Amino acid sequence: MPLIANDVLACAAGTAPARLAVTLGDEQLTFGEVDRLSNRYANALLALGARRGERAAWWSDTTLEGVGLYFALSRIGMAFVPLNPAYTDDEAAAAIDYVRPQVLIVDPAHAARAEQLVAGRDMILITVGGQGVQPGFDLSALALAATSAPPPVPLPDEDAICTIFLTSGSTGQPKGVMVSQRATWLRTHAGAAAYSTTGGAGEVVMFPLFHMAGWNFAMMAWSARHAAHLVRRADASQLLGAVGRWSPSVIYCIPAVWRRILESDMAVDTSCVEWALTGTSQVTQELLVGIKERFPAARTTVNYGSTETARAVGLRDPDLFTHPGSVGHPIPGVQAKVADDGELLITSDRLMAGYFELPVETAQALQAGWYHTGDLAEQDDEGYLYIVGRKKEVIRTGGETVAPVEVESALAGYPGIADLAIVGIPDPQWGEVVCAVVVLHEGAEVPSVEGLRTHIGERLAAYKHPRRVVQAAVLPRTAATGQVQRAKLVRQFGS
């Protein structure tokens, strides 16, 4: 039997059809209901002319209909292409022109704009989840009339593309990360062992469903027949509200979202949480202490990965405070090494298949079976890995190189600074100068260069110290992972 994404749902629905599978606010579905819904969607889509091997774009806020669609498309062999619901019309048009989907499926909130987008394009417009008259075909109505039996088409091949995720990235145009059916299954089951040891109340998923991690964490929960508790926004009230309502055993948040939770005074019993996970961007010791205090019964891991690799490296709970700043060791099934130029390389059987119709970018990223992450890393004598910056974000000043994250770590805790980014600003004398872009707490004054350099002291060489300080109202970050978009700051303050 091929290893395909739909197998996760088939196994759960076949053995525990009445068990809760997914929630979103007051809405909920069991595994049996998701299975029947996905079959109805699949049969309705086939009747509309959906073809195996084609692509279906989904432009929608997070909905339970989206869960049914994901499995429906997987089952009939169409690649699922989720679009960021926050896209402007121009951004959505550019994404559609890039991936050229046969089908565009939208929620009612995006239907009117989508009708304009499909004009002049060879594309089927479908609306799902609406009530009343909507543009295009009404998939919800068609599904009611369709059979809930499995669609009468062969299962997709393992190497068929299951999903194409459009990476937001810190600079440049999005690239379509193609993940095969087999890699999707392997990514899911790579984390399933830990989930099978926890309670059955499931996981709170902070990521939206246009992001790889949203599906990956939900699929890991479903592979253990646990529920995935989705939220409409990654704010403290919704996340803590889900913890209080569903008593989940797992919650994962990126550091920026954890800070929202730790700053909230919302009273919630967190004793149910066995795993309070984090990662993606820099994780400070202060943040880890805060997570431990708010979730005292939970173990915590720091995770490193990407859309191209999924979770690849992890720092275990016992190592959090003995190896500060580390992202840990490669997880089982993954190999990692630091190249001569300092770039971290990853290989596993869960890597992406490549970037959609971008052969040059694919060849640059995948070389001899190794994915070139673009991250600069160091490895200590015990094999622990440390991410010290981005290869393209390294600051070159006076012939020396500076990793921004290293300076940001040295400035952590500076009084009055609420958020901080280090960037390289073009300079005729030095090539670039180290610039601190600061977001201040209310009432705080902009720190001086001398103050920041004194705070760093002898922890870093003098050439790594800031030579300029500027204030920003907010740091631009990627929507899903919260990574600082340094290129935007350079454009803003580099003149």
Q: What is the mean pLDDT of residues 475-489?
A: 81
Let me know whether 196 and 316 are in one domain.
yes
> Which pLDDT score is estimated for 460?
85
Q: Mutual orientation of helices 212-223 and 181-190 as an angle, nearest 10°? A: 60
241 in the same domain as 365: yes
Q: Span 58-65, mean pLDDT?
A: 97
By C-alpha distance, which of 122, 107, 103, 112 is closest to 59?
107
Q: In terms of DSSP bridges, do strands 103-106 and 124-127 run parallel, antiparallel, or are they unpaired? A: parallel
How far is the C-alpha of 178 from the C-alpha of 63, rounded, in Å?
A: 23
pLDDT of residue 172: 44
Give the model's pLDDT for residue 169. Answer: 45
pLDDT category at 171 given cuts 50, 70, 90 is very low
Same domain, 378 and 401: no
- Nearest by Cα to 255 from 70, 412, 141: 412
Domain assignment present for 367 = yes
Same domain, 57 and 104: yes
Same domain, yes or no, for 343 and 194?
Answer: yes
Is 381 in the same domain as 274? yes
| Residues 147 and 55 placed together within one structural domain of the fold | yes
- Flag the least confident range among 71-80, 266-275, 325-334, 421-430: 421-430
Say whether pLDDT at 193 is over 70: no
What is the rounded radius of gyration, in angstroms, for the C-alpha atoms of the chain?
23
Residue 232 neighbours by CB distance under 10 Å: 12
Quote the pLDDT of residue 195: 55
Is residue 257 assigned to a domain? yes
Q: Is the per-residue pLDDT at 199 higher than 80?
A: no
Q: What is the pLDDT of residues 324-353, one digit of tens each?
A: 999 999 999 999 999 998 999 999 999 999
Average pLDDT over residues 288-294: 97
Q: Other C-beta atoms within 10 Å of 490: how many?
A: 19
**Residue 312 and residue 341 in one domain:** yes
Distance, CA of 396 to CA of 412 (rounded, Å): 22
Continuous segment of H or E residues that includes residue 55: strand 55-59
Any domain includes 162: no
- In angstroms, rounded to a whole number, what is the distance separating the alpha carbons of residues 164 and 181? 11
| Mean pLDDT across 29-46 | 98
The predicted-structure confidence for 110-149, as pLDDT tens digits, reads as follows 999 999 999 999 999 999 998 777 889 999 999 999 999 9
User: Does residue 335 share a domain with residue 302?
Assistant: yes
- Domain end call among 354, 389, 424: 389
Domain of residue 460, CATH code: 3.30.300.30
With respect to residue 316, please indicate whether it lies within any of the assigned structural domains.
yes
Which tokens in the block code for residue 225? 């027949």
- pLDDT over threshold 60, residue 197: no
What mean pLDDT value characterizes the chain? 91
Which amino acid is it at 474?
Answer: V
Average pLDDT over residues 26-33: 97
Distances (CA, A) of 178 to 165, 220, 308: 7, 19, 8
Q: How confident is the model at residue 170 (pLDDT cuts 50, 70, 90)?
A: very low
- Does residue 59 fall inside a structural domain? yes
pLDDT confidence band for 173 (50 / 70 / 90)? low
* pLDDT > 90? residue 376: no
pLDDT at 392: 77
pLDDT at 198 over 60: no
- Does residue 193 share a domain with residue 292? yes
**Beta carbons within 8 Å of 147's beta carbon, 6+ residues apart:** 39, 40, 43
- Calpha distance 94→290 (Å, rounded): 41
CB atoms within 10 A of CB 341: 7
Range of the domain at 358: 187-201+225-389
Q: Say which CATH number the domain at 49 has.
A: 3.40.50.980
Q: Are 176 and 202 in contact (CB under 8 A)?
A: no
CB 451 within 8 A of CB 416: no
Neighbouring C-alpha atoms within 13 Å toward the C-beta of 403: 19
Q: What is the pLDDT of residue 419?
A: 93
How confident is the model over 389-411, as a mean pLDDT? 82
Examine the fold and report which residue of 362, 389, 416 is the final residue of a domain before the chain moves on.
Answer: 389
Identify the bridge partners of residue 372 per DSSP, sorted by sequence position: 345
Side-chain half-sphere of 319: how many Cα atoms within 13 Å? Answer: 16
pLDDT of 481 above 80 = no
| 409 domain residue, yes or no | yes
Domain end among 389, 404, 437:
389
Q: Do the domain assignments include residue 213? A: no
In this prediction, residue 284 carries a pLDDT of 86
Whether residue 393 has pLDDT greater than 90: no
Q: 214 lies in a domain?
A: no
Q: Looking at the structure, do residues 136 and 13 belong to the same domain, yes or no?
A: yes
Same domain, yes or no, for 455 and 416? Answer: yes
Question: Looking at the 3D structure of the chain, how many domains does it have?
Answer: 3
Question: Residue 336, SS3?
Answer: strand
Mean pLDDT of the 441-448 span: 94
pTM: predicted TM-score of the whole model, two decimal places:
0.84
Check residue 192 and give its pLDDT. Answer: 60
Helix axes 108-118, 89-99, angle to 10 degrees: 60
Query: Residue 243: pLDDT above 60?
Result: yes
The residue behind tokens 């699929």 is 219
In 3D, which of 10, 2, 349, 350 has the Cα closest to residue 156? 2
Question: Does residue 200 have a pLDDT over 70?
Answer: no
CA quadruple 12, 48, 76, 60: dihedral positive or negative? Answer: negative
